[in-house]
């Protein structure tokens, strides 16, 4: 039998319906491959028993001609999404053993559409990180390597497990979340497609919260069409999430065909950072050309406040996190470190349960909200955030989409950037603005650098401009024609 793991979700869907192969065969191939790829540390937990029941049910439905949109599609779920009865610990020791008695809305939407969950995917602890190195399970490993080297590289973060798993074909698609770039940066580093929707497009209900005003779920997939198919299922209004938007979900897969003819695409000049590598700069220029050749008009736009986006983010996100993570206190779930004094119990539990990066951010967040500093840090950051969002909105008066690189560098070696938190934070320099403004962004593979590592390109759209964004991404994807695969060193 052919290697079904090379197929996209669209191909698997169509193939199963045409009875070319069964859901069981698809699952078996993916699962075998995933089990043999433990070296990538992408899956932290498999869902074998439950999954097989689902697979059988899928084949029965397909046989009866009752297949749902994602019937029998094997998916990986970032371990930030609560899955009913299946341990969810957000890659944090403090949540070890937590089995949610509920299913997140987004994962439930996928289940309702027939998707099969293979297991839970690695991530940075509580989604705080850009390299997967803050995971309590150790980092997921990027299937891509520098040519002729064996150095282990990061798949990016925080959705590093999702990106690594899709890139290595361990699952057909994966859920991910993006607070400052956590879908798009790992997608860029692994040559996958990562789509962060408009804030409020996907429900946050049942997703372990990091920074509530920024967190947004989205897919990581093999190509743009698959990301659109997954978004169709994940998106939707949820009355259980007060920040969810009541707005119909269009058919995103349909949007692919449109092309970019007549579209205005902006190139934000301030994104050309000092010290940007020539390769990234060239890739950016080349891709703009490709879009132009397809009939788009390329316009230079100015977003001078961009440089303040990361510092704003590193106040707002830790502030919200410091409050969101207060519930991990050793009382209701997870792990407790005992002490006779309740407040000592809290401190020990949290001191031992959280990793270094989480603690650092909780400290920053606590500090910027504390008496005497609130105005200077938190309030100021929220006002700068407003200015950034206004600037972004003004840019979208001129253009339909923005084109930028997805990340400032290709995948880097584990441990290479972990000494300096700020250097690590700079990974999100191109992605974080979309989170602050609440607008959608997508990263697609742009090409390989001189060392053979993938580089990503990002398109950003105005709020609820997902269809336009998908249209642009599909056109660019086709023009680039990227089809490289990592060599399978890990099996």
Partner 1 sequence: MTEQRNLLRGETGDWEVVIGLEVHAQVTSNTKLFSGSSAAYGAGPNENVSLVDAAMPGMLPVINQFCVEQAIKTGLGLNAKIHLWSRFDRKNYFYPDLPQGYQISQYKDPIVGEGEIEVELDAERTIKVGIERLHLEQDAGKSIHDLAPKESYVDLNRSGVALMEIVSKPEMRSAEEASAYFGKLRTIVRYLGTCDGNMDQGSMRADVNVSVCRAGNYAKFVETGDFSHLGTRTETKNVNSIRFVRQVVDYEARRQIQVLEAGGTIDQETRLFDVKTGETRTMRSKEDAHDYRYFPDPDLLPLEFSQEFVDRIAASLPELPDAKKHRFVEEYGLSSYDAAVLVADKDKATYFEGVASGRDGKLASSWVTTELFGMLNKEGLEITESPISAEQLGGLIDLISDETISGKIAKQVFELMLDEDKGKAPKDIVEARGLKQVTDTGALEAAADKIIAANPEQVAKVKDKPKALGWFVGQVMKETGGKANPQAVNAILKKKLGVE
Partner 2 sequence: MSLDESTVKKVANLARIAIADEEVPHLMNELNGILGWIEQLQEVDIEGVEAMTSSVEVALPMRDDVLADGPTGGGQPQAVTKNAPKSDDHFFVVPKVVE
Q: Which residue has the tokens 């736009």?
A: 301
Task: Please work out the total of residues on this chain that contact partner 2, with binding judged by CB under 8 A.
Answer: 76
Q: At its nearest, how many Å lie between partner 1 and the CB of residue 243?
A: 6
Q: Give the residue with the Cβ less far from partner 2, 410 or 463.
A: 463
CB atoms within 10 A of CB 50: 16
Q: At its nearest, how many Å lie between partner 1 and the CB of residue 462?
A: 20
Q: Give the residue with the Cβ less far from partner 1, 17 or 240.
A: 240
- Sign for the pseudo-dihedral over CA of 175, 179, 184, 185: negative
- Asked if 379 interacts with partner 2 (CB under 8 A), we say yes
Task: Please work out the total of residues on this chain that contact partner 1, with binding judged by CB under 8 A.
Answer: 44
**φ, ψ for residue 357, nearest 5 deg:** -65, -40
Contacted entry of partner 2, partner 1, none for residue 210, CB cut-off 5 to 8 Å set by kind: none
* Six token digits for residue 83: 């899955």
- Asked if 337 interacts with partner 1 (CB under 8 A), we say no
Contacted entry of partner 2, partner 1, none for residue 480, CB cut-off 5 to 8 Å set by kind: none
* Six token digits for residue 36: 């043999």
Q: Give the residue with the Cβ less far from partner 1, 263 or 319.
A: 319
When binding is defined by CB under 8 A, the residue of 320, 391, 400, 467 that contacts partner 1 is: 320
Contacted entry of partner 1, partner 2, none for residue 229, CB cut-off 5 to 8 Å set by kind: none
Q: At its nearest, how many Å lie between partner 2 and the CB of residue 470?
A: 20
- Asked if 64 interacts with partner 1 (CB under 8 A), we say no
Distance between CA 151 and CA 141 in Å, rounded? 10
Q: At its nearest, how many Å lie between partner 2 and the CB of residue 347?
A: 4
Rounded to whole angstroms, what are the CA distances from 132 to 45, 95, 156, 249, 469?
16, 17, 6, 32, 27
Distance between CA 401 and CA 137 in Å, rounded? 38
- Asked if 397 interacts with partner 2 (CB under 8 A), we say no
Q: At its nearest, how many Å lie between partner 1 and the CB of residue 213?
A: 4
- DSSP summary character for residue 208: P
| Binding mask of the shown chain, residues 231 to 270, with x at each position contacting partner 1 by CB under 8 A | --------xxxxx---------------------------
- Asked if 209 interacts with partner 1 (CB under 8 A), we say yes
* Side-chain half-sphere CA neighbours of 243 within 13 A: 14
Distance between CA 30 and CA 144 in Å, rounded? 19
| Terminal Cα-to-Cα distance of the chain (whole angstroms) | 19
Among the listed residues 92, 130, 131, 158, the single catalytic one is 158
Q: Which stretch binds partner 1 (CB under 8 A): 21-29, 61-69, 323-331, 453-461?
A: 323-331
Q: At its nearest, how many Å lie between partner 1 and the CB of residue 364?
A: 12
- Asked if 1 interacts with partner 1 (CB under 8 A), we say no
165-204 binders of partner 2 (CB under 8 A): 199-200
SS3 breakdown of the chain: % helix, strand, coil, rounded to 5?
45, 15, 45
Whether 223 and 482 have beta carbons less than 8 Å apart is answered as no
Q: Which stretch binds partner 2 (CB under 8 A): 24-32, 37-45, 373-381, 397-405?
A: 373-381
* Six token digits for residue 156: 């990016």
Distance between CA 339 and CA 349 in Å, rounded? 9
Whether 244 and 200 have beta carbons less than 8 Å apart is answered as yes
405-464 binders of partner 2 (CB under 8 A): 420-422, 436-439, 463
* Side-chain half-sphere CA neighbours of 91 within 13 A: 37
* Six token digits for residue 440: 């959608």
104 given a catalytic annotation = no
When binding is defined by CB under 8 A, the residue of 100, 155, 156, 194 that contacts partner 1 is: 100
347 given a catalytic annotation = no
- Asked if 326 interacts with partner 1 (CB under 8 A), we say yes
When binding is defined by CB under 8 A, the residue of 377, 396, 412, 430 that contacts partner 2 is: 377
| Binding mask of the shown chain, residues 286 to 325, with x at each position contacting partner 2 by CB under 8 A | -------------------x-xx--xx-xx------x---
When binding is defined by CB under 8 A, the residue of 239, 261, 484, 491 that contacts partner 2 is: 239
Is residue 138 left, alpha or beta, with left meaning phi > 0 and alpha meaning psi from -120 to 50? Answer: left
Whether 216 and 186 have beta carbons less than 8 Å apart is answered as no
Strand partners, 58: none
Question: What 3-state DSSP class applies to 107?
Answer: helix
Q: What is the 3-state secondary structure (H, E, C) of 400-411?
A: CEEEEECCCCCC
158 given a catalytic annotation = yes
345-364 binders of partner 2 (CB under 8 A): 345-348, 350-352, 354, 359-360, 362-364
* Six token digits for residue 93: 């020791």
**φ, ψ for residue 13, nearest 5 deg:** -55, -50
When binding is defined by CB under 8 A, the residue of 2, 102, 149, 269 that contacts partner 2 is: 102
Contacted entry of partner 1, partner 2, none for residue 491, CB cut-off 5 to 8 Å set by kind: none
Distance between CA 289 and CA 367 in Å, rounded? 46
Residues carrying an active site annotation:
78, 158, 182
Interaction site with partner 1 (CB under 8 A): 82, 88, 90, 95, 98, 100-102, 104, 204-209, 211-213, 239-243, 319-320, 322-323, 325-327, 329, 331-333, 340, 342-343, 346, 366, 369-371, 374, 378
């Amino acid at each position: 039998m052919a290697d079904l793991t090379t197929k996209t979700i669209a191909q698997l869907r169509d193939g199963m319906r045409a009875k070319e192969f069964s859901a069981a065969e698809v699952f078996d191939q993916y699962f075998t491959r995933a089990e043999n790829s433990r070296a990538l540390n992408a899956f932290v937990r498999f869902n074998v028993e439950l999954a097989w029941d689902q697979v059988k049910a899928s084949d029965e439905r397909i046989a009866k001609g009752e297949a749902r949109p994602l019937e029998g599609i094997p998916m990986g779920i970032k371990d930030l999404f609560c899955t009913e009865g299946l341990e969810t610990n957000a890659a944090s020791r403090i949540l070890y053993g937590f089995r949610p008695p509920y299913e997140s809305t987004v994962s439930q939407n996928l289940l309702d559409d027939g998707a099969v969950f293979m297991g839970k995917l690695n991530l940075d602890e509580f989604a705080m990180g850009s390299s997967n190195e803050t995971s309590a399970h150790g980092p997921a490993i990027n299937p891509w390597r520098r040519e002729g080297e064996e150095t282990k590289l990061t798949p990016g973060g925080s959705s590093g497990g999702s990106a690594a798993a899709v890139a290595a074909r361990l699952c057909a698609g994966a859920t991910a979340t993006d607070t400052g770039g956590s879908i798009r940066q790992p997608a860029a580093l692994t040559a996958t497609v990562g789509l962060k929707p408009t804030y409020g497009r996907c429900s946050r209900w049942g997703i372990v919260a990091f920074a509530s005003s920024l967190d947004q779920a989205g897919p990581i997939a093999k190509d743009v069409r698959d990301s659109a198919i997954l978004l169709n299922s994940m998106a939707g209004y949820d009355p259980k999430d007060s920040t969810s938007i009541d707005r119909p979900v269009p058919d995103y897969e349909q949007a692919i065909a449109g092309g970019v003819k007549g579209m205005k695409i902006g190139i934000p000049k301030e994104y050309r950072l000092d010290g940007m590598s020539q390769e990234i700069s060239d890739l950016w220029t080349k891709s703009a050309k490709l879009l132009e050749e397809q009939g788009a008009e390329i316009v230079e736009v100015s977003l001078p406040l961009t440089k303040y986006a990361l510092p704003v983010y590193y106040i707002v996100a830790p502030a919200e996190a410091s409050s969101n993570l207060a519930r991990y206190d050793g009382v209701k779930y997870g792990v407790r470190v005992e002490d006779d004094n309740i407040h000592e119990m809290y401190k020990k539990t949290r001191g031992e349960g959280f990793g270094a990066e989480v603690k650092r951010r909780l400290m920053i967040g606590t500090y910027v909200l504390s008496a005497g500093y609130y105005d200077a840090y938190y309030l100021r950051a929220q006002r700068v955030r407003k200015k950034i969002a206004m600037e972004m909105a003004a840019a979208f008066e001129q253009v339909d989409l923005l084109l930028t690189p997805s990340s400032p560098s290709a995948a880097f070696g584990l441990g290479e950037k972990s000494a300096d938190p700020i250097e690590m934070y700079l990974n999100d320099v191109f992605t974080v603005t979309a989170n602050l403004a609440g607008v959608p962004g997508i990263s697609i593979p742009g090409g390989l650098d001189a060392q053979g590592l993938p580089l990503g390109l990002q398109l950003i759209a105005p709020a609820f401009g997902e269809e336009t964004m998908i249209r642009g991404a599909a056109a660019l994807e086709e023009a680039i024609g990227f089809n490289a695969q990592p060599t399978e060193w890990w099996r």
